[in-house]
Each structure stands twice: as C-alpha cells, then as structure tokens.
Amino acid sequence: MTTMLWPPSASSLFNMRSYLPESFMPQYEGMRETILSWLEIFGIAGTDVEKSTDTSKARQALTDAENALKRVREQKKNAEEDLEEIFNPEGFGTEGEWKKLDGTCLALDTGEYTYEICMFDEAKQKPNKGGTTFNLGKFSSWNPSPDVKPGDPAYYEKQIYNRGTRCWNGPERSVALVLTCGTENALLTVAELEKCEYQITGTSPALCLPLDEKANGREEL
C-alpha cells in the first residue's frame, strides 16, 4: 500500500517534471499552475521555497563572514611579520633605519663603466659604450666578520653581494660594499681587489649615530 503525503510541497511539484515524458508536459504544466494557485490561497505553497532561500542567504552570509575573518587574520599575520622583519637587527637594523633604502639604487660612473647597487637586491656593472651588463651579485649579508654582531654599528658598515656572473676562467663576480657616515646615500669609489672581486665604497646617513651615542662612545674610550 502506497502512502501519499498531502499536501504536496512546492519543491515536489517542481521536481516532478524530471520524471515525466515530454508528451505529458503540457498537461502537467497546466495542472501544476492550478494546484499551486490553490496552495497559495491556503498559505501552503511557497513555504519550502522561502525557507530554502532564507537558508541559502544565511549560509552565504556565514561563508562571507568566515572569508572576511580569514582575510583579517592573514593581514594581521603579514603585518606582524613585516614589523618583525623591519626591526630585525640582522635585516634593517634595530630601529628599522635601513628599511627606507630597501630597493634604492645607487650608481657611480667611472668612465668606462657605471656601477650600480640596488640596496638589498643586486649589483651591476654596465658598460657606457655598449656591451654586456654583468651581474656582480645578489645581496647576501651584512658584515660577515666574526668580530661584529647584529646591532653593532660596525655590522652595518659592510654589505656582501655574491653569486654574480662568472668571470671567464675565474670566479663568480662579487662585491663588498663598504659604507661610512655621510650626508647622502652615494657610491664613491670602485676597486677590483682580486679578479672579479670588487670593493665599492659609499656613504649613508643611516650610519650616522645620534650625537648622544657618539658622546657615549667617546666617554667609553
């Protein structure tokens, strides 16, 4: 014995069409409209559809809220990592004083070549009269001397750029950038101390200690 549930829901009426042959569709559509009009009069039809719509909206709102929370958490995490990097003594200094130079390019024209260093990125040797531009190395580290440690002024007086384009029958090109206190960020001299191993000197205000720190240094001496 088959038990028939009455009244049929609106969703049941919508789904029945998938089970009917094409030849019965015109009759079904007419009957469907009549039944739905009756159900609407008695306040029965539309309930399932409205509930389904409300549920979908609630789920979408929950999904949107979860995605927004996820984005906020990611932004917070990225901001914390950026702050940690900026004030890392091994990176941009204890006060983040080197951050503003990140990506800043300094150049020196020596006549035959122009030497360019983009801070914390790479060093290049560019011929002034045509030819090949050589990569002199990517930023590797600050002063690697065991006699200095991150946070010491001397630690920031040298940058190492290495793994540049290999010389013909020689080593990979590299640069030691030696910096001192100066009123501007500039390159001053270039010297090839060994084959394809360059020393470039320059200045930066970031190396100029505050007057009180200089005074304390003299008192300690």
d(CA 126, CA 111): 11
79 occurs within a structural domain: no
Same-domain pairing of 187 and 108: yes
Claim to verify: residue 130 and residue 194 sit in the same structural domain: yes
What is residue 13's predicted lDDT score, i.e. its pLDDT?
45
Range of the domain at 206: 99-220
CB-CB contact of 59 with 66 (8 Å): no
Same domain, yes or no: 119 and 209? yes
Residues near 104 by Cβ (< 8 Å), separated by ≥ 6?
A: 118, 119, 185
Q: What is the pTM of this model?
A: 0.61
CB within 8 Å of 131: residues ≥ 6 apart: none
The answer to whether 136 and 175 are in contact (CB under 8 A) is: yes
Residues 40 and 103 occupy one common structural domain: no
**What string of pLDDT tens digits covers the 221 residues of the chain?**
544 444 444 444 445 556 556 666 666 666 666 666 655 555 555 555 556 777 887 788 778 878 887 888 888 887 777 666 777 878 888 888 899 999 999 999 999 999 999 999 999 999 999 899 999 999 999 999 999 999 999 999 999 999 999 999 899 999 999 999 999 999 999 999 999 999 999 999 999 977 445 444 444 44
Separation CA 138–CA 197 (nearest Å): 13
| Cβ proximity of 153 and 207 under 8 Å | yes
In a domain, residue 70? The reply is no
pLDDT at 214: 45
Same domain (yes/no): 25, 132: no
In a domain, 130, yes or no: yes
| Whether residues 105 and 211 fall in one domain | yes
Please report the pLDDT score of residue 121 as a whole number.
97
Q: How many domains does the chain have?
A: 2
User: Are both 111 and 210 inside the same structural domain?
Assistant: yes
Give the residue among 93, 114, 100, 101 at the shortest CA–CA distance from 200: 114
